[in-house]
Chain A
């Protein structure tokens, strides 16, 4: 008897929280990674940040050239340490309460008080936040910060709920175009304008995401697919594939304290030993492009004059020999276990062999790999900067005083000339200096892609991979 009952009971238990079949049709977005924490004061993973953009509104937004533009508020810098923000559009939280200056103050005050938030450190120089009236907020800083406005990208939370210690991580309440509908086995958001439900199903395996899209179990997938699967989808009759340029910068990190790599000739030799264009043409989605700096040329601090290093293995050999290195030069390259990353590593290995570099690949689980990168326990590694908006990144990555944990100078690069240029914020000169000294080897900005069933329309890939297109997506016809 028990034997007969057990499977039924277990099934009911395990499937608790699954979507009932009589609910209106949700748009199903199959994502590689589900969001972890929807409290904008804590979220750091790309999945959570992209979804938070839909749920919350921010004081400041960015235009297509990544310049700060008003979001919820306009602002003026009254002096080097004093900013005044004026709420310029009426916004309402999902619980019906209006968004006011008190909510802005409460959001940033609470962020400053958190001991376990990864974002607190960035706002440590806020000395005082004052509300002048229901729409005006003053920020007093302890030191001048010309990029202060661009930092204010944290979603605004309702003061009333902050005071009660509300769990925004799992029950977000914001003022954005989407509100939380339910979050049991999968997150489901509801679009306020028309009630459309969007469900985010986590499907880690790229092949399975493609099969779900083909079968109609998912309506939309975005990014994180090897190019052969993108090509496969392009041939499917009931699926639309769109690609667009990306702004996420992939690079080869170098430990300039390691043997040989402190010599700029060796670093240039590595750049000449990589045929980035061939890699882009053969194994990356279309619209991928070669990179010469962290920020792409269309960014207001981008430098269109920089030319990528061409593939010249013979020149690379000469440079290595002129640096007194006996070939082959053996270097260890650390990467994650992601199949596309490992594949790229093997291509780099084959290309570098031509230039007399014997690249040893070490593929490590993400946790170990990233811990090694942070500690400087590497010679070469491969990573991507995602969602970078401000040129301040150059100081955080290359300034002598930005060694971890003070910043992201993981390669321990120290260059007095560059430090002076960074101080002056002379971005053309900064990018030129970095390009000639090569503390990291720029690789590419990977193209963005989305694939969706022809039952939906009006979704566009965004350069940084955000999901803002969900505000406009529509079902063309009811699906049978």
Chain B
């Protein structure tokens, strides 16, 4: 296990290099953002020196890594707030949204997928397939406002946006979760249909087990395995910040922070967000791998 997580280090180092390079590759620099158009060349030079931007790139990189190791992500150019504070506020919000969205996706997607597979070829299957294709095709920037209109404005059940109370999470989580459920429905259906045609299922039926026992004890465990990978990948991208959903629902998460920092050219914040997002993604993928191995005895021996 430790060896597995040690392999993360080169990836994290690569991400560090890339996010650092970001600052030097994009046009303009923090000094332009801070001083605006009318500052003199002397003022620019002075501020560059103060920020250490006149140092050789390698020295700057070294300082950047040293600060990161101490948990210091720097300060936002725009708000002059420590970035660790911004991340500490935004990350839990994103994590919460991701967990709830995933729960919605799983609780709708898996039952619908199973039902669809069991009724393969019947009208229920056709209806579920049509529904899931439509859900998968709805972009968040459309689905979000439609959900707001129906559940907040017309029915008055939920708040339109913001983070004022616990009910505020329902609509953004549904916006993300419904799309996710469509993918999970399709995956569950395909995977279960494949498993149901296997010899061992026929054997189980021949032993005289009920359809319910065949499904729950034999088919589902195998059929849901591929879903672990999909769920892991989806969780990774949810933690990367559901940029559009967070923006339209005024959900103060990583996605919104990232977009905001890009718009305002707040480079240190963008750097920190990219770093955190990349790290989350890599970590989730490793965790998925571990869970997969734990669930599927066949993969345990593999390198």
Q: Which residues of A contact B (CB under 8 A)?
A: 6-7, 10-11, 13-15, 18-19, 21, 36-37, 39, 42, 44-45, 115-118, 120-122, 124, 167, 169-170, 185, 201-205, 207-208, 211-212, 214-215, 217, 365-368, 371-372, 374-375, 396, 404-408
Q: Contact at A122–B164, with CB atoms within 8 Å? A: no
A and B contact pairs by CB, cutoff 8 A, 13 listed: A10-B96, A21-B165, A36-B264, A37-B78, A122-B38, A167-B80, A217-B162, A366-B264, A368-B27, A371-B32, A374-B32, A405-B39, A405-B44
Most buried by A among B35, B161, B262: B161
A365 to B160, CA, bound (A): 27
Please state if B152 and A365 are interface contacts (CB–CB under 8 Å).
Answer: no
Q: Is the CB of B163 within 8 A of A18?
A: yes
B195 on interface, CB distance cutoff 8 Å: no
* Complex contact B153–A211 (CB within 8 A): yes
The answer on a CB contact under 8 Å between B161 and A212 is: yes
Q: Which residue of B lies closest to A44 (CB)?
A: B36
Within 8 A of A (CB), among B140-164: 145, 148-149, 152-153, 156, 159-164
Q: Answer yes or no: B197 CB below 8 A from chain A CBs.
A: no
Contact A11 B169 (CB under 8 A): yes
The one of A115, A116, A121, A217 in contact with B159, judged by C-beta atoms closer than 8 angstroms, is A217
Interface contact A207-B80, CB-CB below 8 Å:
no
Q: Is B303 an interface residue (CB 8 A)?
A: no
A-B contact count (CB 8 A): 142
Instruction: Mark each residue of chain B from 14 to 48: 1 if its CB lies under 8 Å from any CB of chain A, else 0.
Output: 00000000000011100010111111110110110
Contact status B96-A211, CB under 8 Å: no
Task: Mark the stretch among B221-229, B245-253, B280-288 that contacts chain A.
Answer: B245-253
* Given A18-B163, A211-B152: A204 and B43 interface contact (C-beta under 8 Å): no
**Are A13 and B79 interface neighbours, CB within 8 A?**
no
Given A18-B165, A204-B247, verify A37-B35 contact (CB < 8 Å): no
Q: Which residue of A lies closest to B162 (CB)?
A: A201
Cα-based distance from A374 to B264 in the complex (angstroms): 15
Residues of A within 8 A of B100 (CB): 7
Tell me whether B99 and A10 are in contact (CB under 8 A).
yes
Known contacts A18-B163, A169-B80, A211-B145: A13-B92 contact under CB 8 Å: yes
B50 interface contact, C-beta 8 A: yes
* Cα distance A37–B76 in the bound complex, in angstroms: 11
Chain B interface: which size bin?
35 or more
> A367 with B160: in contact, given A10-B95, A116-B50, A408-B38 (CB under 8 Å)?
no
A14 to B165, CA, bound (A): 10
Other contacts beyond A37-B79, A203-B161, A207-B145: 20, CB < 8 A: A18-B164, A39-B80, A45-B78, A118-B35, A118-B36, A118-B38, A121-B43, A122-B38, A167-B80, A169-B79, A207-B248, A211-B148, A211-B149, A215-B153, A217-B162, A366-B264, A367-B263, A367-B264, A375-B27, A405-B40
Q: How long is the Cα–Cα vector from A117 to B161 in the complex, in angstroms?
A: 35
Distance (whole angstroms) from the CB of A393 to the closest CB of chain B:
12
Q: How far is the CA of A371 from the CA of B265 in the complex (A)?
A: 10
Known contacts: A36-B78, A367-B262. The answer to whether A7 contacts B99 by CB under 8 A is yes
Give the top 8 A-B pairs by smallest Cβ distance, nearest first. Answer: A118-B36, A10-B96, A367-B265, A13-B92, A14-B93, A371-B28, A205-B248, A14-B96
Verify A215–B156 contact, CB threshold 8 A: yes
Contact A36 B248 (CB under 8 A): no
Residue of B nearest to A120 (CB): B43
Q: Which among B34, B160, B265 is the interface contact of A215 at CB below 8 angstroms?
A: B160
Contact check, B265 vs A19: say whether CB atoms are below 8 A apart.
Answer: no
Q: Using CB atoms, name the residue of chain A closest to B250.
A: A203
**Alpha-carbon separation in the docked complex, A405 to B34 (Å):** 13
Distance of A405 Cα from B44 Cα, bound (Å): 10
User: Given the complex, which residues of B lie within 8 Å of A42, measured CB to CB?
Assistant: 80
Residues of B within 8 A of A214 (CB): 153
State A375–B37 Cα separation when bound (angstroms): 10
**Which B residues touch A21, using CB under 8 A?**
165
CB distance from B98 to the nearest CB of A (A): 10
Is B81's beta carbon under 8 Å from chain A?
yes
Whether the pair A116, B169 counts as a contact (CB closer than 8 A) is: no
A39 to B78, CA, bound (A): 11
Residue of A nearest to B35 (CB): A118
User: Contacts A7-B100, A202-B250 given: A14-B163 contact, CB under 8 Å?
Assistant: yes
Q: Which of A6, A44, A115, A396 makes the CB contact (< 8 A) with B99?
A: A6
Report the bound CA distance from A13 to B133 in whole Å.
35
Let me know if B302 is at the binding interface, CB within 8 A.
no
Closest Cβ–Cβ distance, residue A98 to chain B (whole Å): 28
Task: Please name all residues of chain B whose beta carbon is closer than 8 Å to the beta carbon of A217 when the two chains form the complex.
Answer: 159-162
